[in-house]
Amino acid sequence: MKRDGAKVTDGDSAKKAKSDEISATLGEILEINDMPTMSQGKWKNKTRCLIFGSRGLDYRTRHFMQDLRNIMPHTKADVKLEKKNDRAIIKEIAEMKNCSKVLYFEGRKKKDLYITMADIDEGPTIRFNVEGLNTMGELKFSGNCLKGSRPLLVFDEHFDEEPHYALIKEMFTQMFGTPRYHPKSQPFVDHVLNFSILDDRIWIRNYQIILEGTNKVKDEKFEPETVEIGPRLVLNLQRIQEGPFSGPAIYLNPDYVSPNERRRAQGYGQNGKSYMNKIIEREAKEEHKNNLPEVPKHVTDEIFVNN
C-alpha cells in the first residue's frame, strides 16, 4: 500500500503501535516511581539486636528465640555460648556482629531460664528471671501478622511510676522497636506489642490489629479489634548493672526470690507437712488403742504365769 509516496507495510504499523504502548507503560512506571513511598526513605537508625543463648537451652526456649527473630527483622543470630566463658566476651561478639543491643538467654540446671538485656555502647545491663514462656506453636492463636512488619509498642502506666521501670521501658523501646526504613522490614503496622506490670512482673503480649471492615459472606460490619498472636513472656526483674555486662549494680530487686530458694522453701514445706502427718497418725493410733474395749482374761492365762 502506498501513501504520500512512502511505502508502509502492516508489519511496520504493528511495530510502531507496540513501541508507543511500551513508551506509555514506561511513562506510567516513571510516574509511579516519583511518588513518595516508605521504601524510598533513608535508613538512619542502625540499631541491631543480637539474639542468642548459652548451651543447655531446651527446645521451647530455642523456638521462642526464633519467634522473636521472626517479629524483629533487625535482629541477628549467633552460635551458642559456652557457660564457662566470661560474659565480657558477649560484648566482643556483638561488636563483631555490628549489633548495639543484646538479648542473651541463659539456662541453668535445665529448668531455670534467665534473660539478660544490654546496651553494648554505654550500658545498662538488665537481668530477668523468666517465670512464664509460651511459643507461637504452643498457643495456636488465630491472630497473624506480616513477617517483618513494624509493631506499635504499648506500655502500662506503671512504667512511669518508678525510675527503674522507666529505664526498662526505654530499653524495651530501643530493642523491640523496628527501625524505620529498615531494609528487612515491611512498611506496615499491623500488630501491637503490649508491656504491662502485674504482681511485680512484666508481662509481654503480641496482638494483631484488625481494622474496621465488612464481612462479605455474612453481609455485616465488624469493629476494630485486637487478636492475640503470641508468643508470651513473663519476666521477674533481678538486677540492673551500670555497664554492658559489667559495672556495679545500680538496682537490686528487694522482692526477688531465686528459683533455688523457692524450691528449697517448697521442699521444707513438704517435709514439714509429712512430719506433721506422721505425728497425727501416731496420735490417732494411740487414741484408737486406748479406746479399744478391755478383753476378759481367759482361764488358761494363769497356767503360764511364773510363780
DSSP string, the chain: -EETTEE--HHHHHHHHHHHHHHHHHHHHHHHHTS--GGGS-------EEEEEBTT--HHHHHHHHHHHHH-TTEEE-PPBPTTS-THHHHHHHHHTT-SEEEEEEEETTTEEEEEEEETTT--EEEEEEEEEE-HHHH--S----TTEEEEEEE-GGGGTSHHHHHHHHHHHHHHSPPTT-TTSEEEEEEEEEEEEETTEEEEEEEEEE--EEETTTTEEE--EEEE---EEEEEEEEEEEETTEEEEEEE-TT---HHHHHHHHHHHHHHHHHHHHHHHHHHHHHHHHTSPPPPPPGGGGTT---
Question: In the predicted model, is pLDDT for residue 181 greater than 90?
Answer: no
pLDDT band for 164, please (50, 70, 90 cuts). Answer: very high
What confidence score (pLDDT) does residue 305 get?
62
In the prediction, which pLDDT does 218 show? 64
Is the pLDDT assigned to residue 31 strictly greater than 50? no
Domain chopping of the chain, boundaries: 49-261
pLDDT at 161: 93
pLDDT at 167 exceeding the cut of 60 = yes
> Tell me: the pLDDT tens digits for 96-116?
999 999 999 999 988 899 999
Q: What is the pTM of this model?
A: 0.72
- CATH number belonging to the domain at 49-261, selected among 3.30.300.30, 3.40.50.920, 3.40.50.10480, 3.40.50.300: 3.40.50.10480
Give the model's pLDDT for residue 142: 87
Confidence of residue 172 (pLDDT cuts 50, 70, 90): very high
